Structure 1
């Protein structure tokens, strides 16, 4: 069992990544507090499981309404804790409210099947909640992601223990307490702490589902713990998402797409563009335009800081490794003076597969570019990766677009748009990027178990 520090030794200190100023200190949960949170949620399960699906939906709708009312408050705290730009933070809160509303609608409609058996029998397949869900949520979009996991779990009758990232404990607790006000006691419980608290929760034998969004290393640790307890795991781990720029596309438009994918939220999005493969015929103009896009930030286009100095050191180490191996630094790549964890939009050319910026997840505002002699080469190299989250292809060729979405071994492929997608779309990461559906109606399936029921005729005779 993972050992936890005392409350005094394990306080979480959060600093504003833009200024370095102290936001606050949050006591980390002790071993006894973790155990009590699990016990309390487990005790609340029987009542919540028996609550009508429509009543559960009404509670989620009420929580979503309050979340919309307090969007500015949560966005402001998100900005202070993680540096996420205010407008983008508010969009994340509203997206979270929309997700709660979506699961409020989908929950009562999540039905099983009736089977055709004997005339005198009834055969059913009935979904039911798994039990206690531990939700381990990230810092880069803390409200939207948490609302997805919590909303789907609650809508299907599960109880939840939520541990937000230690990088945004205030916004995580604000969100949890806001939703919990609309629920019976202990149906949704929050615990604060770092990875040790998360590990303690993952090791608990009373947990039925562990849903984690975050790094690949943590996700693998969660999977190992769950293998011992038998808990189901839902994992969205890291990604190393590729962007392919085909011959024939407008290089300026392609550079705008690449800059949006690589630099939005300072590259701290699960589906950020992490590596770029551009056809040689458009490479020169594309690189010039991409450098121009990078230099617009932050003077013309606002850009968030990195979440903290530890993350900035990680990003900069990837850039230094690439330059040391022969990459050309065309923009950015230097540590700025002054407080905070800012890092410039960075463009690297001449990148090779051995460089960490192509082989590992950087999770920062870095656009590493590799020139390909053909679409086939770009596709082959983009597919040769241990991750399997998302990928994007920019192409005027329907044949190339079709080939790309067929052959790229990732859960989501986007054509001619680095971001976007229809409401209720799910995500299904592969390989090192995780397992299980995230979001969409499919997440309700992940949160439930199916019971097969056969009701035969009585053997009694008058």
Structure 2
């Protein structure tokens, strides 16, 4: 639904109030809430406030921060139904899907708080024989203030991969949620403030793209962005002006490979869930399937059988919700039309399946390799099933995309082998999207899917700066790092290195 900015009059002063915009239920167009449009000055002020609070938060140490984050986690668990209802209202997704998102969020928040000290604390490292007189350590210190720009499709789970890990590492966070789901972002900030009232280190700014752009130039110490590749490039360009580091998680065109020995019912179930859940609005969703020709007919029958049972609707228990971002409907329609014009076949649905704001399931096959349905991210409840000679050809086809976010392999005998050959940041073998639910695993992609990692130990370190320290324990008989060294010092070192490292 299209949102419009409004400027009301403050009844107490008679003056114009700051501009605001409405978040709408994409199923009905009803207003869910009204939120301020924060401009450049507003964002800068919020960042300053976050920076003032960050020092005390960092000085708490890991154990005390864990206690506060655990309190927030317990609050989220108690009020899961409340925030799930808001997610459902602003995205239109089925209520159970919203609750599933919250279950994953709570588990990730627990992992980040519980493991931050183990991953980031100071540790000893070997100094090597040349520096045997040095005690060497490395630790990971917080950056300061992290700016997070989140998406609308998973408005809690996706940004929490940055929020929880950045907070656990000792940073303050300024979060800019999507303009389609601002209420979810505001709710998260309020709940944190209730659970952790003495440390205002999670702030939210709301608005459109200009607000996100202001966050990029506000002086934050890092920006974590999730969204389209095109917008990610603009974020990078803006941050480059101040050498602000970025973490960029963009779109995907994830592939599922079905080998000749795959469990076909399980593979079909995974393909349909991976492609159709959340109405296909999943960056790690399955958009392409490459199935070995020997089992392709049966696999396609199973996929068709399952996809035909799914129905979109506005009720909380529908299989699929609406297309949350109205402009995406035209993209989905265009990809279906392009596939069919190029000789592809629709075995489920077709052009008639696009009925804004809903799109019924569409299963395409025999699609031309250069079709947009193969090359571009569709982000809707569609799936393309292509026949390949063998699983090796499937890997080659999967890797032909400029994206490289996630992937899936169904094979009894070659699962891990095929997974290692996929050019992607994450792979599930004999399941789908499982990697996203494992808090200890890093999440992120390559190519046009972005770079950097959230989740796991890599995700904690992503929001820190490493600091290496050496401390002299005793004087070395040979000290080459001095103008007072003897003439034979370097000669002796060369002889020593040849003896110790030259063989």
Normalising to structure 2: TM-score of the pair? 0.84
Larger mean Cα displacement after TM superposition, 97-106 or 381-390 = 97-106
**Runs of 5+ in structure 2 lacking a partner?**
9-17, 476-503
Residue 122 of structure 2 aligns with which residue? 112
Residue 323 of structure 1 aligns with which residue? 340
* Distance across 1 between alignment mates of 2:462 and 2:60: 20
SS in structure 1 opposite 2:156? helix
Task: Indicate conservation of the 8 Å contact 1:115/1:123, yes or no.
Answer: yes
Residue 190 of structure 1 aligns with which residue? 204
SS in structure 2 opposite 1:412? coil
Residue 44 of structure 1 aligns with which residue? 53
Q: Among residues 209, 217, 223, which one is paired with 1:203 in the alignment?
A: 217
* Distance across 2 between alignment mates of 1:326 and 1:120: 71
- Give matches, 1:351-370, under 5 Å: 351-370=367-386
- Give matches, 1:135-150, under 5 Å: 135-150=148-163
Residue 469 of structure 2 aligns with which residue? 453
Going from structure 1 to structure 2, the CA distance change for 1:21 and 1:372 (only over 3 Å counts) comes to: same
- Give matches, 1:332-411, under 5 Å: 332-335=349-352, 341-398=357-414, 401-411=415-425
Going from structure 1 to structure 2, the CA distance change for 1:376 and 1:24 (only over 3 Å counts) comes to: same
* Distance across 1 between alignment mates of 2:293 and 2:335: 24
Residue 26 of structure 2 aligns with which residue? 17
* Distance across 2 between alignment mates of 1:6 and 1:456: 64
Residue deviations 1:159-186, cap 9 Å, x none? 1100111111111110122113315354
Going from structure 1 to structure 2, the CA distance change for 1:359 and 1:107 (only over 3 Å counts) comes to: same
Task: Indicate conservation of the 8 Å contact 2:221/2:244, yes or no.
Answer: yes
Residue 481 of structure 2 aligns with which residue? none
How far 1:11 sits from its partner (Å)? 3.6
Residue 67 of structure 2 aligns with which residue? 58
* Distance across 1 between alignment mates of 2:140 and 2:190: 28
Larger mean Cα displacement after TM superposition, 283-292 or 153-162 = 283-292
Residue deviations 1:131-182, cap 9 Å, x none? 1100111111111222221111111111110011111111111012211331
Normalising to structure 1: TM-score of the pair? 0.91
Q: Among residues 88, 91, 102, which one is paired with 1:82 in the alignment?
A: 91
Going from structure 1 to structure 2, the CA distance change for 1:407 and 1:119 (only over 3 Å counts) comes to: closer
* Distance across 2 between alignment mates of 1:145 and 1:180: 20
Residue 438 of structure 1 aligns with which residue? 454
Residue 307 of structure 1 aligns with which residue? 324
Is 1:178 the counterpart of 2:171 in the alignment? no
Task: Indicate conservation of the 8 Å contact 1:12/1:28, yes or no.
Answer: yes
* Distance across 2 between alignment mates of 1:134 and 1:62: 23
Residue deviations 1:355-374, cap 9 Å, x none? 11110111110011221122
Larger mean Cα displacement after TM superposition, 299-308 or 190-199 = 299-308
Residue 166 of structure 1 aligns with which residue? 179
How far 1:447 sits from its partner (Å)? 0.9
* Distance across 1 between alignment mates of 2:282 and 2:125: 43
Q: Among residues 102, 124, 149, which one is paired with 2:137 in the alignment?
A: 124
How far 1:333 sits from its partner (Å)? 2.8
Going from structure 1 to structure 2, the CA distance change for 1:358 and 1:122 (only over 3 Å counts) comes to: same
Task: Indicate conservation of the 8 Å contact 1:382/1:408, yes or no.
Answer: yes
Task: Indicate conservation of the 8 Å contact 1:59/1:183, yes or no.
Answer: no
**Runs of 5+ in structure 1 lacking a partner?**
none
How far 1:116 sits from its partner (Å)? 4.9
How far 1:375 sits from its partner (Å)? 2.2
* Distance across 1 between alignment mates of 2:343 and 2:132: 75
Give the number of aligned pairs.
451
Going from structure 1 to structure 2, the CA distance change for 1:52 and 1:226 (only over 3 Å counts) comes to: same
Residue 247 of structure 1 aligns with which residue? 260
Task: Indicate conservation of the 8 Å contact 1:6/1:30, yes or no.
Answer: no
Larger mean Cα displacement after TM superposition, 342-351 or 177-186 = 177-186
* Distance across 2 between alignment mates of 1:19 and 1:292: 30
What is the CA RMSD across the aligned residues, in angstroms? 2.4
Please tell me whether Structure 1 or Structure 2 has the larger radius of gyration of its CA atoms: 2
Task: Indicate conservation of the 8 Å contact 1:348/1:369, yes or no.
Answer: yes
Larger mean Cα displacement after TM superposition, 195-204 or 63-72 = 195-204
* Distance across 1 between alignment mates of 2:459 and 2:339: 39
How far 1:115 sits from its partner (Å)? 3.9
How far 1:272 sits from its partner (Å)? 0.4
